[in-house]
Amino acid sequence: MAEVWLSGRRRGALAFGLGAVAALGQAPLGFWWATLAALAALVWLLDRVKNRRGAFLTGWLAGAGYFGLSLNWIIEPFLIDIARHGWMAPFAVVLLAFGLGLFWAAAALLARLVKVPALGFAVAIVALEWLRGVIFTGFPWAMLGHVWIGTPLDQLAALGGPSVLSLITLLGAALPVLWRWPGAAGSAVLLAAGLGFGLWRLAQPLPEPGDLTLRLVQPNAEQSVKWEAARAQEFFDRLLTLTARGGPADLTIWPETAVPYMLEYSPEVADMVVAVSGGRPVALGIQREEAGRFYNSLRVLEGEGEQTALYDKAHLVPFGEYIPFGDLAYDWFGLRAFAAQAGNTYSAGPGPQVLDLGRFGKVLPLICYEAIFPREVNAMPERADWMLQITNDAWFGVWTGPFQHFDQARLRAVEQGLPLIRVANTGVTAVVDARGRVIQELPFATMDALDTRIPGALPPTPYARWGDGPLVLLLAGLALLAMIGRRRVPIDAPPPAV
């Protein structure tokens, strides 16, 4: 009866709904228990699909439901200028949801090729999530393991990065399907062990914070009018006022693209910045131009306005900050509109870089999107003392996007054992310790500044030392087990013929 009832459109609708329920574990809701329950039901559903086509479609619709809800913020940039771009918003969310849903479809299809499909699906999802974070410049947003961020289980990321959290999630959902009540007990033991490790790690002492004061400036410039010439001075004045308020800090930090001018064309801006900081350093997000190319940059000014450090964003947002192959189109066909070399999009910087800020220590700068890539953060050329993310999340609205982005940045602190200072235009502006705990935070969507100190750093974590190596070995072992294991007979299968 189950196969009859769960056939065709009913199965597709159920799969789509289960995917959407699984998305409730993502920020800002954080309903991890809903994700576990929905994934367990989805694994049960896939375990009863009779053919590869049905498995593919079921996985695809489940993935579309998951990404459609968890990435609903993708419509927000199109609503900034709704008269011109609003019509594209529905197409963006549908295409992204069903496009990323293909990863779940592929996992469901691969699961049909092994003897233990439930275990095969868990392994395939984790492996394909890893692939999703790499191919086509990567997009590791809304990984299933992200539902644990902010709980003690997120400390497992120090051992194996975000993919280990996803594996725990999938195994916790699949075990009850594989072995019913014994499997449910195994799932509980697995999660309890992760919880115990997390609580133990969070209870360990941290080094004392530094003595120097940082001021994190959140100007709350509305994205829809941020670049209007009539409002530019207003937003710049907000930055200057907050920097000087109560006397300057040892180091002041402004968010991504905070300055509405460029030093190349308005050199007096540097003098205005150091005037309100009393010559003390200010790290500011600002665009810059060099040899006809434009960069999304972090520049440190101090003293008489001289620049003492520079970082150009290396991992740009496709179609948002640059057009893929835009330079080739210019070289081959003379099309300038999409070419970074013609100054029409951003150019990428050379890659991860650690800046030596003297008495403030060595800092790994991350501009906006760069903080979602664990492997690139892990590829820092030398060990930093802390991480700095500047961002402008006003593009992402006020409901889900900024909070999901912040959660992913927090996870980098867990993975590396390094504190994170995060400065955002509208929020979330916060201070995160070396175990990913938020110790100070500004209210969202307010104009304000936060004075803080740099939390202490920990020694390199296992993930910082070995990266994804242990995860690859673990996935290989589980994949082998799925291939040679014994297929469980469904509870509602007909009795064998005599």
Distance CA(162)–CA(213), nearest Å, equals 32
Q: Which residues contact 61 (CB under 8 A, 6 or more apart)?
A: 12, 13, 15, 16, 19, 101
Gyration radius (Cα) of the chain, Å: 24
User: Which DSSP symbol is given to 426?
Assistant: S
Which residues sit opposite 310 in a β-bridge? 299
237 — phi, psi (to 5°)? -65, -35
The pair of three-digit structure tokens given for residue 79, joined into one six-digit string: 């609503």
Distance CA(122)–CA(184), nearest Å, equals 16
With the CA atoms of 116, 121, 127 and 129 taken in that order, what torsion angle do they form, in degrees rounded to the nearest 10?
-170
Catalytic residue numbers read 256, 313, 368
The pair of three-digit structure tokens given for residue 416, joined into one six-digit string: 């590396």
Best CA proximity match to 447, nearest among 235, 133, 233: 235
Residue 78's CB: how many other CB atoms inside 10 A?
18
Burial profile 324-359: b = 16 or more Cβ within 10 angstroms, e = fewer:
eebbebbeeeebeebbbebebbbbbbeebbbbebee
Identity at 206, one-letter amino acid code:
L
3-state secondary structure string across 350-383: CCCCCEECHHHCEEEEEEHHHHHCHHHHHCCCCC
